[in-house]
Amino acid sequence: MKLSGTDHIELYVGDARQAAFYYCTAFGFRIAAQGGPETGLKGRRSLLLTQGDIRMVLTSPLGTDHPAAEFLHRHGDGVAVIALEVDDVEAAYEELVHRGAAPVAAPVRYAEGDAVVTTAEVSGFGDVTHRLVQRGGPRTEFLPGVFRMSDVDETAGGDLLRIIDHFAVCVPAGQLDATVAHYREVFGFAQIFEEYIEVGEQGMFSKVVQSPSKQITLTLIEPDTSRRRGQIDDFLTWHGGAGVQHVAFTTDGITSTVGALAARGVRFANTPPSYFDALAERVRDLAVPVEDLRAAGVLVDRDHWGQLLQIFTESMHVRRTLFLEIIERRGALTFGSGNIKALYEAKNRELSGVA
C-alpha cells in the first residue's frame, strides 16, 4: 500500500455556495467543478475549489437523509474527509480494513472517456473519514461523470497558497496515544515529533504522525486535564468530539501573502510586540527582516534543518472551531517548540476576546 499524498479534502458546510464565495474572495480559491442531483450526486450539492495543488470540496446536504446533515448537526461546518492518493484502491482498502480501519464505503469506479477514478472510504478519527483515491488516464476530471468541470484559467497565476502542509487534530483526553497507535499500525505512519505545550495555566500534549511518503502529516493534540481547562477542551466541546482544528496551507513569501489576505478581510490571531522584541535573539539569521514579520504578525521558529514561518487565522465559524494556518518552510522539515506555544497563546487571546 502506497499513500502518496493528500488528494483533496472535503468540508461539510451549511451552504456550499456561500462558503465558496468566502474561500474564493478571501483566500483566492477558484471553483473548478461542481456536482449535484443533476450530475448524479444524490441529496447534496458539492463545489470543488482549487488553488496551487490544493483541492477542497465543499458539500452541503439538500435534505436530512444525507450523512452531511448529521455531521453538521453534531459538529457544525468542518473537515469531514481527508482523501489520500493511493496507487491501488482495492488493495489499499482491503489492507487498511484488515489492519483495523472501519470500512465506510467499498470501492467505486468513476469513468468518463479515458479518465478513471476509483475511490473507497475508511474511518480516520472522530467522524472524519479517509477517502482513498486512485487516478488513471488524463487528470482532467475530478470525479468523472458526477462532477462537471468549470472553465478555470490555469494560466491566470496569482496563487497565494500551494499545498496542504499538515492537519491539526484535537482528540479527547486519553485518546492521543491510541490515535497515534492507530495511524502507526493501520496506516503505517511514523511519529516524528512530540511536544508538551504550556499556555498560561493550561497544558496540551501533542504528537505528530507522518506517512512514509512524508506528504501527509497529522498533528494530534489532547488537553492536559490536570491543568486549567483551555482552548482544546473548548474545541472538543464546541465541535462535539475529535475533529480537525486547523488545516495548514503552504505559501511562498508569507508576509506578502498575509498582507494580501488581510486586505481581503481575513483576520489573524494577534501576537504581542514582545514576541518580536525577543525574536532576533531566539532565531539567528532570520529568513525575513524582523520588521516585516512584526508588521504581518508572522511567527518564526527553527528546527534542525531550517526555519519555518507561521500564522493562524481566526476561526470563521460560529462555533469557533475550524481555522486555517498559513506556513512557509525555509528548510524546516518538522515544527519548532517556540512557535507552537506562541501560536496557541495568540489563539487563546483571540478566543478570550483580548486580541
For the CB of residue 219, give the shortest distance to Fe ion in the complex, in Å. Answer: 6
Q: Which of 10, 77, 325, 350 binds Fe ion (CB under 5 A)?
A: 325
Q: Which one of 136-144, 160-168, 223-231, 298-306 is the stretch in contact with Fe ion (CB under 5 A)?
A: 160-168
Q: Which one of 141-149, 168-176, 177-185, 226-234 is the stretch in contact with Fe ion (CB under 5 A)?
A: 168-176
For the CB of residue 310, give the shortest distance to Fe ion in the complex, in Å. Answer: 7
Give the number of residues in contact with Fe ion, rule: CB under 5 A.
Answer: 3
For the CB of residue 309, give the shortest distance to Fe ion in the complex, in Å. Answer: 12
Closest to Fe ion by CB, 134 vs 245, is 245
Closest to Fe ion by CB, 168 vs 176, is 168
Closest to Fe ion by CB, 141 vs 325, is 325
Q: Which of 168, 176, 209, 221 binds Fe ion (CB under 5 A)?
A: 168
Cβ pair 152, 30 in contact under 8 A: yes
CA distances from residue 133 to 47, 83, 105, 277 in whole angstroms, order as listed: 18, 7, 12, 47
Closest to Fe ion by CB, 222 vs 325, is 325
Closest to Fe ion by CB, 49 vs 220, is 220
Closest to Fe ion by CB, 132 vs 220, is 220
Closest to Fe ion by CB, 314 vs 325, is 325
Q: Which segments of 186-289 does DSSP mark as H helices, in order? A: 231-239, 254-263, 273-277, 279-282
Closest to Fe ion by CB, 117 vs 309, is 309
For the CB of residue 75, give the shortest distance to Fe ion in the complex, in Å. Answer: 20
Sign of CA dihedral 29, 32, 36, 40: negative
Q: Which one of 26-34, 81-89, 166-174, 176-184 is the stretch in contact with Fe ion (CB under 5 A)?
A: 166-174
DSSP structural state of residue 313:
B
CA distances from residue 239 to 72, 127, 153 in whole angstroms, order as listed: 10, 11, 37
Biggest CA pair distance of the chain: 60
For the CB of residue 325, give the shortest distance to Fe ion in the complex, in Å. Answer: 5
Binding residues among 186-245 for Fe ion as defined by CB under 5 A: none
For residue 144, give the nearest of 49, 55, 50, 35 by alpha carbon: 35
248 contributes a contact to Fe ion by CB under 5 A: yes
For the CB of residue 245, give the shortest distance to Fe ion in the complex, in Å. Answer: 8
For the CB of residue 204, give the shortest distance to Fe ion in the complex, in Å. Answer: 13
136-142 contacts, C-beta under 8 A, 24 or more apart: 137/113, 138/113, 138/114, 139/115, 140/115, 141/112, 141/115, 141/117, 142/8, 142/32, 142/33, 142/48, 142/55, 142/117
For residue 248, give the nearest of 4, 34, 6 by alpha carbon: 6
Burial of 135-148, coded b for 16+ CB within 10 Å and e otherwise, reads beeeeebbbbbbbe
For the CB of residue 218, give the shortest distance to Fe ion in the complex, in Å. Answer: 10
Q: Which one of 122-130, 183-191, 232-240, 324-332 is the stretch in contact with Fe ion (CB under 5 A)?
A: 324-332
Cell numbers given for 221: 493534540
Q: Interface residues with Fe ion (CB under 5 A)? A: 168, 248, 325
